[in-house]
Amino acid sequence: MLTRVIRVDPANIVPESIEQAATLIRSGELVAFPTETVYGLGANALDEQAVARIFSVKGRPTTDPLIIHVKSRAQLDETAIAVPDVAYRLIDQFWPGPLTLVLTRSERIAAAASAGLATVAVRMPAHPVALALLEAARVPVAAPSANRFAHPSPTTARHVLDDLDGRIPLILDGGPTTVGVESTIVDLTRSHPRLLRPGGIPVEAIAEMLSDLEIVSRFATEADGAMPAPGMMLKHYSPRAELRLFDGPDDAVHAAIYNAVSDLLSQGRRVGLLVADEDRPYLSALGVPLVSLGSLRNLEQIARNLFAGLREIDSQDVEIILARSYPPAGIGLAVRDRLMRAAEGRVTHVQS
């Protein structure tokens, strides 16, 4: 299959491009499109066969449910039933935007999209191209991140092409995404609201509205223990190279990374670094490939660059990537969570 890429300027959307994409969605095909978080791989959420295609194209286990994207409250009502008041309070505050709510599934939504569960994850994206596509498609759109299973999420059309070229008919290229990490997921189907995944909306902002929000500390540490949500413990965000994460005060992290690189180089290993601007002066003398995600003082920038940085250092013929961790405040919690998962337990905690 030939994969076409159509450039769509978010500030000046050409209706014909969107109409082509919407026609594919309505006819049961898949389309990759930009959201404010990462690129999504979309299918008609009402069509079981179209949804099944998402799992096979991504190589994703069918036990890992998808997020349904809607353009309006009316479409939310086609997707979920018995929506509690607390959901509407969160929606007023955060939609459109990177907040996904887990609610009770409407029978209309393909069962495969929810991996057979009675619940459904739903969000309204804050990206003009995504909203235009939803408007034109006139159906809710099931869309996971548009990467091959276990790869880092795509934040550019190029990343989607690298993973899915020849497997889908169309990619809408709306330029690099602005948030860079996926949506925050909150489960509202239990007695207490529960954070299932930290993401683009800082958990602090949600906790301010939901005093009884349950937050599992696991997000700030190695991802082990019980599985809080379907799909959460699957292999995730894995670069080709082995990623090792260093967590602790800056000076101790610099010393530990410096020593680890020196050791690995003396063993003849090919090493790369994924760090922040402030780390450069301490590590550049090592002379190994280095990708910076931005300044430690700007965690939004770090988040925006995270997945592209991971893909970039991974493409530089290295066997081992040494990365620094980030403070768990604001969007930093999501960055930390993604790196912890990418490290698959290879985390070194250092002290000053």
In this structure, the dihedral spanned by the alpha carbons of residues 157, 160, 165 and 166, taken in order and rounded to 10 degrees, is: -100
Q: Are 65 and 121 in contact (CB under 8 A)?
A: yes
Comparing CB distances to Mg ion, the nearer of 144 and 193 is 144
The residue type of 334 is A
Comparing CB distances to ligand TXA, the nearer of 231 and 330 is 231
User: In the complex, what is the shortest distance from the CB of residue 241 to Mg ion, in angstroms, rounded to a whole number?
Assistant: 20
306 binds, among ligand TXA, Mg ion, none (CB under 5 to 8 A by kind): none
Instruction: Give, in degrees to the nearest 5, the angle at Cα 56 between 136 and 180.
Output: 60
Residue ranges that bind ligand TXA, judged by CB under 6 A: 35, 37-38, 40, 64-67, 98, 100, 102, 114, 117, 119-121, 125, 143-145, 182-183, 185, 196, 229-232
**Environment class of residue 69 by beta-carbon count within 10 Å: exposed (0-12), middle (13-18) or buried (19+)?**
buried
Token readout for 165 is 């070229």
Strands (DSSP E) along the chain, which ranges?
4-7, 31-34, 39-44, 67-69, 80-81, 99-105, 119-123, 141-142, 170-173, 184-187, 194-197, 242-247, 271-275, 290-292, 320-324, 347-349
User: In the complex, what is the shortest distance from the CB of residue 320 to ligand TXA, in angstroms, rounded to a whole number?
Assistant: 26
Comparing CB distances to ligand TXA, the nearer of 18 and 195 is 195
Decide: is 238 part of the binding site for Mg ion (CB under 5 A). Answer: no
198 binds, among Mg ion, ligand TXA, none (CB under 5 to 8 A by kind): none
User: In the complex, what is the shortest distance from the CB of residue 33 to ligand TXA, in angstroms, rounded to a whole number?
Assistant: 8
Is residue 42 helix, strand or coil? strand
Comparing CB distances to ligand TXA, the nearer of 67 and 283 is 67
Within 142-171, the residues that bind Mg ion by CB under 5 A are 145
20 binds, among ligand TXA, Mg ion, none (CB under 5 to 8 A by kind): none
42 binds, among ligand TXA, Mg ion, none (CB under 5 to 8 A by kind): none
- Size, binding site for Mg ion by CB under 5 A: 1
Q: Are 318 and 329 in contact (CB under 8 A)?
A: no
The Cα–Cα gap between 255 and 335 comes to 22
Q: Are 208 and 45 in contact (CB under 8 A)?
A: no
Comparing CB distances to ligand TXA, the nearer of 187 and 279 is 187
117 binds, among ligand TXA, Mg ion, none (CB under 5 to 8 A by kind): ligand TXA
User: In the complex, what is the shortest distance from the CB of residue 6 to ligand TXA, in angstroms, rounded to a whole number?
Assistant: 18
